[in-house]
Amino acid sequence: MSAFDFLLQGLGTAADPMMLLYALIGVTLGTAVGVLPGIGPALTVALLLPVTYRLDPAGSLIMFAGIYYGGMYGGSTTSILLNTPGESASIITALEGNKMARKGRGGPALATAAIGSFIAGLIATLLLAFLAPWIVKVALVFGPREYFALMVLAFVTVSAAFGDSALRGLTSLFLGLALACVGIDQLTGQARLSFGVPELLDGIEVTTMAVAMFALGEALFIAGQRDQAEDEVTAVKGSVWMSRRDWARSWKPWLRGTVIGFPIGAMPAGGAEIGTFLSYATEKRLTRHPEEFGDGAIEGVAGPEAANNASAAGTLVPLLTLGLPTSATAAIMLAGFQQFGLQPGPLLFATNPTLVWGLIASLLIANAMLLVLNLPLIGLWVKLLTVPKPWLYAGILLFATLGTIGANPSSFELGMLLGFGVLGYVMRLFGYPIAPIVVGLILGPMAEQQLRRALAISQGDWTTLVQSPIAATLLAIAALALIVPLILRARGKGEMLSQLAGEED
Amino acid sequence: MKQFVLASLFAGAVAVPAMADYTIIAPANPGGGWDQTARTMQTVMQEEGISKSAQVQNVPGAGGTIGLAQFASQNNGNPDALIVGGYVMVGAILTNNSPVSLKDVTPIARLTGEYEAIVVPAASSIQDIQGLVEALKADPGAVSWAGGSAGGTDHIAVGLIAKAAGVDPTKINYIAYSGGGEALAAILGNQVTAGISSLGEFEAQIQAGTLRLLAVSSPERLEGVDAPTLQEAGLDVTLENWRMVAAAPGLSDEQKAKVTADIEKMAKSENWQKQLADKGWMDTWLAGPEFDAQLEKDISATEAILKDIGLVK
């Protein structure tokens, strides 16, 4: 049988009414946990693993697939509506998405996220189905020096999230980088900046930090503004649905986001966040409406959301082709495979084609199910903004705390959540952007470890960083992205840039 | 649905002590070996009627030492509390200078174990373990090893191999990865000279011919594994990455005996054996004074090698 026949057969299995029910349960659970800040899909799948023990392999895998995609999607809803990312991969979505929601365009923002997620999920799942063995070969070429170059590129693009002031953006970024140094140094096993506190040995949890900075900081900020003029939040202005113009501005970012997110997700050390950073930066560079960025540009939601879901499919490439779980959720799915006596690995496609294609088919079904579930819900979600603020933010605080404690039951973690919440409030108060600090916390350790690994392998020879063509190319792109705008600005004192932007419009 | 999620999360994550017979702490994130061990114990204990509603709680961090410290301080004299741990914890306690050690809990039994495997990419010019040892002797820095976290089982094994080969263990070029297959990806991608991890992690790749197995760290040859032991290769190294279960500190002898009997009943059940076979885990059951003696021996040997590598002062 050819791959295509297998896929059709898999779709046949997955279209069984019982299977569709499992898929529905999966995507609903996934969306729910994605929405709750701090609780990730990994914990949900782990909790459900004993339950699925009694189900057949096909049914439980379909449910896992639903949770996985649902979780990736659900994080965006709270990002957009409440400026509270449920997962670290939807941090970037909050930048433009929440601005849109505040202007009454929450509906189109949620719609472009949902449809973008669907399209990216669809394309990426098909790529997974037909190109996985080739993509994984490319992904394996990425060693420490290539990853380091990719991180450098990601760092350069962070400036896209700085807002108006580069100084404030950099301050926030370096604060994040400093916090990233806390904990056991992975390469030597020695503790850094942990001051003898055992809870700090594992470093600062990114989700705790993100939830604190965004959710708690936001809640405090809103509470602090109580007596001032009522915020200009409008629940719905115009249609809840995307206009023709929204579609025209969204479809290219969806495709570009997919192209960026999928390969990075497939890299064993890539991760979902980097794809969203790069996608956001790309959209900001290419947009015809640069003036809207930072103030609710739909491209800034469409691209990163597509990248986020494409990378979720990408993560399954190394899992299915090599048996490499590159995310916590993938690791638990691997445990799920083993529960049914299957060993994912290079031979899985050959030895268990029915199951692999069944999983891929269930991903396609789960993806479609998500769209069906979420598009009608948009109208309902947007109503969330009309909930009186005290109620809404009290609820956010409750869920943020519950999620953090659920994932990491320790009073120290709770203290950190509150401490960073206050920091987030103070930063908002003085106009420092929040995203760079979280980005620094995510990228800092990755870049440091990859650089040190590269240097350890080359025994201290720095030229190793430019000896690989891929690394050299990525570094060159990063250098161009940094230097070209500076030169343009120096020449025309910004005139050329604004001229360029003006011409295109 | 949301209520169901919350309820199940609440039950799973913030276990309600009144409902649970046994609460099993997995001192790691969901998905890892300890978490899987704890969840398998939970399933088998419930199905064998040993515990009506066993709960698993994840307390991740710092090689299990966070979970261990929390477990020891909160459960003194509680006969219903269990914690999963293993060899990695022994090293982590030493490198992290943890105030709480395995002496502060009541070790019950060793449950499963895995041996270490030394591999090279299929494209490597190194054909056997002797070839690798010669390269190591010629220039220790030029041989890069990919493995799990610094100070963990894999790192300790490389230190022991170097020492047995007469190479200064502080000179080894060990590249630590945070599990999750990253190390395997580096080996497959030809980024490093050699790789070291539990045999199970490499098995599928060895079968597919993308990795070459050079040696295993077991005392005798393993059934169905086509590779010599390190001892056969003239390196006096055996190492087992074992997983154990411990009970709370301050238990009376009767309480300890009851817990041991429950765990033994679980480990001897057909159900447990089937789970081990499904997951490819080895049954390395050891309890009582023999286990205590083995634990003592492992701790002192680990401390010695970590000092040699320079990770523990």
pLDDT tens digits, residue range A268-289? 777 778 889 889 988 988 888 8
Q: Which residue has the higher pLDDT, A333 or A401?
A: A401
- Judged by CB atoms closer than 8 Å, whether chains meet at B311 and A189 is answered as yes
Indicate the Cα dihedral angle A96, A102, A104, A106, nearest 10°. Answer: 50
For residue B64, what pLDDT band results from cuts at 50, 70 and 90?
confident
C-alpha to C-alpha distance for B46 and B266, rounded to whole angstroms: 10
Tell me whether residues B5 and A36 touch, CB distance under 8 A: yes
Please state the pTM of the whole predicted model.
0.81
Selection from A303, A241, A242, A4 nearest residue A126 by Cα? A4
pLDDT at A307: 92
Distance from CA of B52 to the nearest CA of A (A): 15
What pLDDT is stored for residue B122 in this prediction?
Answer: 92
Please, what are the domains in chain B?
A: 2-113+241-309 (3.40.190.150), 114-216 (3.40.190.10)
More confident residue, A232 or A105: A105
Confidence of residue A302 (pLDDT cuts 50, 70, 90): very high
Q: How confident is the model at residue B31 (pLDDT cuts 50, 70, 90)?
A: low
What is the average per-residue pLDDT within A355-374? 84
Mutate to test the interface with A, among B6, B23, B70 (most CBs of A within 10 A): B6
pLDDT surpassing 80 at residue A393:
yes
**Which helix (H) or strand (E) element contains residue A155?**
helix A144-158
B141 close to A (CB below 8 A): yes
A202/B32 touch (CB, cutoff 8 Å), yes or no: no
Q: Is the CB of residue A309 less than 8 Å from the CB of residue A117?
A: yes
What does the pLDDT look like over A303-329, one tens digit per residue? 999 998 898 888 888 888 777 776 767
The pLDDT mean for chain A works out to 81
Given a cut of 90, whether residue A415 has pLDDT beyond it is: yes
Mean pLDDT computed over B10-35: 63
Retrieve residue A230's tokens.
């009522």
What is the structure's pLDDT at B18? Answer: 38
Over residues B286-303, the mean pLDDT reads: 86
Domain boundaries, given as residue ranges, for chain A: 3-467
Confidence of residue A199 (pLDDT cuts 50, 70, 90): confident
Are B214 and B128 a contacting pair, CB within 8 Å? yes
The model's confidence at residue B157, banded by pLDDT at 50, 70 and 90, is very high
Distance CA A109, CA A106 (A): 5
Interface touch A323/B8, C-beta < 8 Å? no
**For residues A438 and A172, is the Cβ–Cβ distance under 8 A?**
no
Per residue in A150-178, pLDDT tens?
888 888 877 766 777 788 888 999 999 99
Q: Does any CB of chain A come closer than 8 Å to the CB of residue B313?
A: no
Cβ pairs bridging A and B (under 8 Å): 181
Is the CB of residue B5 less than 8 Å away from at least one CB of chain A? yes
Q: How many angstroms away from the CA of B231 is the closest CA of chain A?
A: 28
pLDDT at B14: 41
